[in-house]
Structures are given as C-alpha cells and as structure tokens.
C-alpha cells in the first residue's frame, strides 16, 4: 500500500480523472483485488504453494519491469528525485526495495516449502 501511496504522491493519479489516472486505478484494482481473491482461495484450499511461487515470480517480474528495467519511465532515480526532501526520496525508494525483497523472501520460502512437500498443493 505504501508503494501505491508513493505513486499517488509522484503524480500517477490526477484529479479530475484522466487517461493516466484510469490506468493507475485499473492496475491498482487488479493487483489488490487479485491478492485478496488469492488469499481467499488459499484459505479455502483451492490453491497452494505452487500458486504463490508463480504469483511471486510474476510480481517480481512486474516490479523489475516497472522500476529497474532499461525501458521503464519510472526508474529508481526518478522516484528519488521526484521529492524535494532527500529523506522523502529515500523513504520512497526504500519502500520499493523492501516491497521487492519481501516478495522475493515470500516466494523463496513458498518454493522451499513446496519443494520439501511440507504443505503439498491441494
């Protein structure tokens, strides 16, 4: 959520709503509702650890393409320099890095549990 708030602070959401805002709202809605539905499906036993490994890999790919690839329009330097205060830019970049490391950690852990069959997929 903090990373989405950062996107709002950096101007990805405009008022009145325009084309860029619609895209931002669409992507945020798909990601958040998809995660909510995925947690619900996991709790009900309809998906397992293999599913979470795939979601994690896709999330890491999306994060890399969105902020670290050579073709992105929002690299880390742009995120940092959007803010006038250095601490705010560092906080925004830190949230992004922590988000990606938490997704990486969760993905590796889910893969470990899946491979060792501690919690077999349903």
Domain-located, residue 121: no
pLDDT in tens, 50-108: 999 999 999 999 999 999 999 998 899 999 999 999 999 999 999 999 999 999 999 99
Domain-located, residue 122: no
What's the longest Cα–Cα distance across the chain? 51
Tokens (6 digits) for 14: 């405009």
The domain total for the chain is 1
CA-closest candidate to residue 66, choices 5, 120, 7, 1: 7
In terms of residue numbers, what domain contains 49? 2-115
pLDDT exceeds cutoff 60 at 116 = yes
Q: Is the pTM of this model over 0.75?
A: yes
């Amino acid at each position: 959520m903090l990373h989405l708030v950062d996107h709002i602070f950096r101007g990805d959401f405009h008022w009145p709503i325009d084309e860029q805002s619609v895209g931002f709202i669409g992507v945020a809605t798909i990601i958040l509702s998809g995660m909510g539905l995925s947690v619900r499906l996991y709790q009900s036993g309809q998906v397992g650890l293999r599913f979470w490994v795939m979601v994690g890999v896709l999330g890491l790919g999306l994060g890399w393409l969105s902020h670290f690839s050579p073709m992105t329009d929002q690299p880390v330097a742009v995120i940092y320099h959007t803010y006038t205060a250095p601490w705010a830019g560092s906080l925004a970049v830190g949230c992004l890095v922590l988000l990606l490391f938490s997704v990486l950690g969760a993905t590796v852990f889910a893969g470990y549990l899946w491979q060792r069959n501690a919690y077999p997929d349903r």
